[in-house]
Amino acid sequence: MSTETGIPGLSKLEWLECSNCSAAFDARQLIGLCDRCGGVLLARYRLDEASRTLSPATIRNRNPNLWRYAEVLPGSDDPVSLGEGMTPLLRAGFLAEDLGLPHLYIKDESRNPTGSFKARGMTTAVTMARQLGARRVALPSAGNAGGAAAAYAAAAGLGVDLFLPIETPEPFRLEAVVHGARVHLLEGDIAECGAYMRTLDEDWWDLSTLREPYRLEGKKTMGYELAEQFGWDLPEVVIYPTGGGTGLVGMWKAFEEMEQLELISPGRRPRMVVVQAEGCAPIVRAFDEDKPKARAWEDPVTYASGLRVPAAIGDRLILRAVRESGGTALAVSDAQMAEEQLVMSRTEGIFAAPEGGATLAAARRLVESGFIRPEDRVVLFNTGTGLKYPDIPGLKVP
C-alpha cells in the first residue's frame, strides 16, 4: 500500500524537544509527553541537511500527497498512506464578491481520506506507532479523528480503541465500526473520554491530540501546502476552526521550519485567526483575557463536534502562535455557523462541515471590524465534510 509513497532515506527526523522545558529525547522510542514536566514534545529535524534536497523544484515533481515533504516528516521511508494531503486551494468566487474580498480562498480538507484534515495527523502518527512497535492504538475523539485513526490503523494492521462522547453523530460511529475499531461510547465530552481512557491499564499507544509528537507533524503539512500553493509566498490571513489546536500549532511550526529551510522569506507569516463556538470557547476567552493558558470550559455545547473541546493540552502553544502572528480569536454561535455552512455549500459547491461554516462567519465579522482588509489574501479552512453531521440546526431535510 505504501511503497509508492515512501522515499527511503529522506526523513531527517533527529530528536524530540519538550515545548515547555526544552529537554531533549531520542526519537527512536515510543514516547508521549515530556517525562520531566509533562510538556508537549515537538519533532526536530536536521534542517540544514533537509534543505539540500527539499526545494520548490524537487517538491514539484513528487507525488501529490503530503509525503512529498518527506525530509521534514517522521517515518517517510515506509509510511502508512491512503493518499492524504495536497487538497485543493479553491478560489471562492461568489463569496469573494459577497464579502468584498477579491483574494478569498477555501482550503478544502474534506477531500482527504475519511473526509477531514484528521487524516493528515493519523498518517504520520500511525506510521510511527507501527514503526516503533505498537500493536494497538487508542484515543478519545469528537468523531473525525476517530474515523481517521480507525482507517489508518486498519491499513497498518493495528488494533484501535476509540472513546467517543455518546452524542457523536452516527456516521462517525459507523465509520469507526466499519474500519474495525472497538468503540466505547461514554457520557461526557472529549476531555472526559480521554481522562477515562487513561484510567484503563491497557497495552495500547495513546494517540490523543498532542500527547504524542507525530499527529502534529502530519497536520503541519497544511502549512507547507499553503506555501507551495501560493508560490512560496504565504497569504496574509488564515482562519482556522480550533478545538485541540493541532492544526493551527502545526501550521505555525511549519512556517518556522520553512523560514529556516529558506523556502519562504522571514517575517511574512499569515495572521492566524482562531475561531471557536460560543458554547465552547476556552481559547477565545484566554485570548481576550490576555492569559498565557486557557482554563477549561464548563458544559461545552455546539453541534460542531470538532470544536467541542473544553480544554486543549496545547493551549499555550495555540495562544502563543496567535499572538506572535498578530492574529486574533473569536467565537461564533451555532446559528451563525449553520447559516454560513449552508452559504458555503450553496455558493461554492463544497459540502462544508460546521467548522468550515464557522470560518466564514468569522471572516464576515473580521471584514466588518476592519481586521481583514480588502487586499488581504484570506484562507478559510473547511476542515471536513458536512456529510458526517446529519443534523444542521434550522435545516429541514425533505
Ligand X SMILES: Cc1ncc(COP(=O)(O)O)c(C=O)c1O
The rounded distance, in Å, linking the Cα atoms of 221 and 226 is 8
Closest CA to 185 of 198, 199, 170, 200: 170
| Options 75, 243, 282, 386; binder of ligand X; rule CB under 6 A | 243
Mind giving me the DSSP string for 137-204? EEEE-SSHHHHHHHHHHHHHT-EEEEEEETTS-HHHHHHHHHTT-EEEEESS-HHHHHHHHTTS--S-
Contact partner at residue 36 from ligand X, Zn ion, none, CB < 5 to 8 Å by partner kind? Zn ion
Contact partner at residue 20 from ligand X, Zn ion, none, CB < 5 to 8 Å by partner kind? Zn ion
Task: State the nearest-atom distance from the C-beta of 389 to ligand X, in Å.
Answer: 9
Using CB under 5 A as the binding rule, whether residue 21 contacts Zn ion is answered as yes
Site for ligand X in 112-131 (CB under 6 A): 116, 118
**Stretch of 34-42, 131-139, 236-244, 284-292 lying at the interface with ligand X (CB under 6 A):** 236-244
* Cβ nearer to ligand X, comparing 50 with 281: 281
CA 4 to chain centre: 25
Using CB under 6 A as the binding rule, whether residue 147 contacts ligand X is answered as no
| Options 36, 52, 91, 135; binder of Zn ion; rule CB under 5 A | 36
Site for ligand X in 166-225 (CB under 6 A): 209
Q: 291-318: string of b/e by CB count within 10 Å (b at 16+)? A: eebbeebeebebbbbbbbbbbbbbbbbb
* Other CB atoms within 10 Å distance of the CB of residue 176: 25
Contact partner at residue 47 from Zn ion, ligand X, none, CB < 5 to 8 Å by partner kind? none
* Cβ nearer to ligand X, comparing 65 with 144: 144
Q: Which residues pair with 274 in a beta bridge?
A: 240, 329
Task: State the nearest-atom distance from the C-beta of 115 to ligand X, in Å.
Answer: 9
Using CB under 6 A as the binding rule, whether residue 353 contacts ligand X is answered as yes
Mind giving me the DSSP string for 283-322? HHHHHHTT-SS-PPPSS---S-GGG--S--TTHHHHHHHH
Contact partner at residue 155 from ligand X, Zn ion, none, CB < 5 to 8 Å by partner kind? none
Residues at the interface with Zn ion (CB under 5 A): 18, 20-21, 23, 34, 36-37, 39
Residues at the interface with ligand X (CB under 6 A): 116, 118, 142, 144-145, 209, 241-247, 306, 353, 355, 383-384
